[in-house]
Amino acid sequence: MVPRPEQGLVVVTGATGFVGRHLVPALAAAGWRVRAALRRPAPVPGAHERVVVGEVGPRTDWGPALEGAAAVVHLAGLAAAPRGRAGEARCRAVNALGTERLAGEAGRAGVACLVFLSTVKVHGETSGGPLREDAPVRPEGPYALSKWEAEERLRAAAPSGLRTVVLRPPLVYGPGVKGAFRALLAAVARGVPLPLATVRNRRSLVAAANLAEAVRRCLERSEAAGPYLVGDGRPWSTPELVERLAGGMGRRARLFPCAPGLLRKLLRGAGLGGVASALLDDLEVDDTRLRRELGWRPVVESGRALVETGAWYREARRRSSS
């Protein structure tokens, strides 16, 4: 095997998170020396170095983590916070002010490139068709608002000489996935009947492996400027998604029909308006710009990646019960 050329030292924040655990080995395999910047000591498979920086925020000391670094990938962030002003302030401090602080220190340390993981939700929770990067900005809730503010602060305050690239992914999935997607996996695995058979929405997703490849392209292509939307290349309806996941588990999806309007009303009545939107509404991205400018292509086909995610969950469930 021909060895990969050495790319330099890249600092990855949020390396112990779901996306980080896919990205770190991918960057190492591509020839990067990976330094994981951590809140607390923890193992990071694939990382060459680990540095504890503590909590991310407007006063984080990034100096030891950035020493000698050529690039930074900023994944660390707060996806959920307590409701109310305290939660909003916390989300802003970590996601927006923490990103601004990192960019400032990276510039002073001589870092050449910073890739920031934002979210498609800066464009809102739904779409009326495939979203492009110039679509109106309509962030809802503390998370999306703080990510948008982080983008704005990067544009306004990034030091001269620091190339910043923003990626806006939709829902990221793959082995190790957590949150709402894992809850859906659990429901499918348990054979829970789901009232989704008549849903006809269009949701873009991105496999963690495909997102990792997009990050790599942004790091290694000097013309990368962003922002870039990124997805697997085709949208899925919720029933199609469930069927693929069930197929990976070796079982049939248990879907039955329910009028989407009635289902939405029932979910909202139960205080699950966000779940209703995720299951029923369209949120579709057009990643043409990323493909055209950086030559990016998915490294794994989305249907296969969904089946593999289902198979991973089946095996993880088996191991946990044995």
**DSSP structure string for 226-247:** --EE---SS-B-HHHHHHHHHH
* pLDDT confidence bin for 4, thresholds 50/70/90: low
Edge-to-edge order in the sheet of strand 228-229: 49-52, 32-38, 8-13, 71-74, 113-117, 163-168, 228-229
Mean predicted confidence (pLDDT) in 195-212: 97
Clarify whether residues 12 and 148 are in a common domain. Answer: yes
| 13 occurs within a structural domain | yes
Clarify whether residues 153 and 185 are in a common domain. Answer: no
Clarify whether residues 247 and 312 are in a common domain. Answer: yes
Q: What is the pLDDT of residue 85?
A: 84
Q: Last residue of some domain: 168, 185, 217?
A: 168
| 215 occurs within a structural domain | no
Mean predicted confidence (pLDDT) in 255-269: 95
Mean predicted confidence (pLDDT) in 315-319: 92
Q: What is the pLDDT of residue 12?
A: 98
| 225 occurs within a structural domain | no
Handedness of CA 224, 107, 54, 12 (dihedral sign): positive
| 90 occurs within a structural domain | yes
Mean predicted confidence (pLDDT) in 243-262: 96
Q: Last residue of some domain: 114, 149, 168?
A: 168
How wide is the angle at C-alpha 251 spanned by C-alphas 236 and 313, nearest 5°?
Answer: 75
Range of the domain at 59: 8-168
Q: Last residue of some domain: 168, 192, 220?
A: 168
Number of domains the chain is built from = 2
At residue 195, the 3 state secondary structure works out as coil
CA–CA distances in Å: residue 114 to residues 12, 90, 117: 10, 23, 10
Q: What is the pLDDT of residue 20?
A: 98
| 217 occurs within a structural domain | no
Clarify whether residues 185 and 161 are in a common domain. Answer: no
Two tokens, residue 78: 């707060």
Indicate whether 300 pLDDT > 80.
yes
The fraction of the chain above a pLDDT of 70, given in percent, is 98
Clarify whether residues 156 and 304 are in a common domain. Answer: no
Mean predicted confidence (pLDDT) in 62-82: 92
Clarify whether residues 99 and 237 are in a common domain. Answer: no
Clarify whether residues 89 and 37 are in a common domain. Answer: yes
Q: What is the pLDDT of residue 3?
A: 42
Two tokens, residue 299: 């490294």
| 223 occurs within a structural domain | no
Indicate whether 141 pLDDT > 60.
yes
pTM of the prediction?
0.95
| 216 occurs within a structural domain | no
Contact 49, 38 (CB under 8 A): no
Mean predicted confidence (pLDDT) in 303-318: 96
Query: How do residues 52-70 score in pLDDT, each as one tens digit?
Result: 999 999 999 999 999 999 9
Cβ atoms within 10 Å, residue 36 = 25
Q: What is the pLDDT of residue 30?
A: 96
Q: What is the pLDDT of residue 5?
A: 55
Q: What is the pLDDT of residue 205?
A: 98
Clarify whether residues 76 and 140 are in a common domain. Answer: yes
Query: How do residues 165-179 score in pLDDT, each as one tens digit?
Result: 999 999 999 999 999
Clarify whether residues 50 and 143 are in a common domain. Answer: yes
Q: What is the pLDDT of residue 2?
A: 36
Clarify whether residues 40 and 140 are in a common domain. Answer: yes
What CATH number has the domain bearing residue 98? 3.40.50.720
Average pLDDT, the chain: 94
Q: What is the pLDDT of residue 102?
A: 97
The fraction of the chain above a pLDDT of 90, given in percent, is 88
